[in-house]
Structure 1
Amino acid sequence: MTASPNPIELSFELAASRCADLAPRVYQRLFDRHPETRAMFRSQGSELVMGSMLALAIEAILDFADARRGHFRLIACEAASHQAYGTSRDLFIAFFAIIRDTLRDLLDDEWSPDIARAWNALLVELDAFAVPA
């Protein structure tokens, strides 16, 4: 496998080599930091919803951090739809930081300054981009 020159993509590639499924780690961190989010997911079948939501978020992040071919538009659409059913914009944006922090902890010594800078810049851009209409 050739490492990606894109630090965001590289962070996901490195994480994939260490962990087959990020969802349990991401959602545990989400629930720990924002306990109110646990009630947002029904008890039965929520693993599928959470996995799907994370997969879509990762696709959008990767597109946003690179070519911006279309998947990134999902971020603004989902920011608006989440707001419509009561999820604050701050909580919506926090999910992306939760993903970053999960990757950082998983990568440990492979979390480089380049990856950290790229993620920090990405989160600032996402915050500006995800403004519901």
Structure 2
Amino acid sequence: MNASPNPIEQTFELAALRCADLTPLVYQRLFKEHPETRAMFRTQGSELVMGSMLALTIEAILDFAGQRGGHFRLIACEVASHDAYGTPRDVFIAFFAIIRDTLHDLLGDEWSVEIAQAWDALLVEIEAFAGIAA
């Protein structure tokens, strides 16, 4: 495997070697840190929604951290739709940090200073972008 020079992409590549599906890990953390979010999902069929939501978010993150070819615009669209659903903006933004923290735990010792700095910068940019999209 040729590792990506992009630290954000690297985290997902390394995570894929350790975990076939991040969905349960991400949502366990989300529900633990933001218990109010559990009620936002139906009791039946929510696994598909969660998996789809995470996949789209990862695509947007990778595009936002990379070439910004268009998938990153999903973040702006989802800001508006989540506002309409009544999702607090801070919870919407927290989802990106939840993904980062899940990856951090999964990577353990392979989580480098470079990766941490890249994620910190990315989260600041995403928060600013989401604020502009409002």
* Bin of the TM-score, shorter chain as denominator length: over 0.9
Structure 2 equivalent of residue 65 of structure 1: 65
Q: Which amino acid aligns with 2:36?
A: E
Cα displacement string for residues 17-75 of structure 1 (whole angstroms, at most 9, x for unaligned residues): 00000000000000000000001000110000000000000000000000000000000
**Aligned-pair CA distance for 1:113:** 0.5
Q: Which amino acid aligns with 2:99?
A: I
**Aligned-pair CA distance for 1:119:** 0.2
Q: In angstroms, what is the RMSD of aligned CA positions?
A: 0.6
Question: What CA distance in whole angstroms lies between the structure 1 residues aligned with 2:126 and 2:84?
Answer: 19
Q: Which amino acid aligns with 2:46?
A: S
Question: What CA distance in whole angstroms lies between the structure 1 residues aligned with 2:46 and 2:84?
Answer: 20
Question: What CA distance in whole angstroms lies between the structure 2 residues aligned with 1:129 and 1:101?
Answer: 20
Q: Which TM-score applies when normalising by structure 2? A: 0.98
Matched residues, number: 133
Identity, % of aligned pairs? 80
Give the 3-state SS of the residue equivalent to 2:74 in structure 1: helix
| Unpaired segments ≥5 residues, structure 1 | none
Question: What CA distance in whole angstroms lies between the structure 1 residues aligned with 2:85 and 2:39?
Answer: 13
**Aligned-pair CA distance for 1:80:** 1.0
Runs of 4+ residues deviating >6 angstroms: none
Q: Which TM-score applies when normalising by structure 1? A: 0.99
Segment of structure 1 superposing worse, 80-89 or 60-69? 80-89
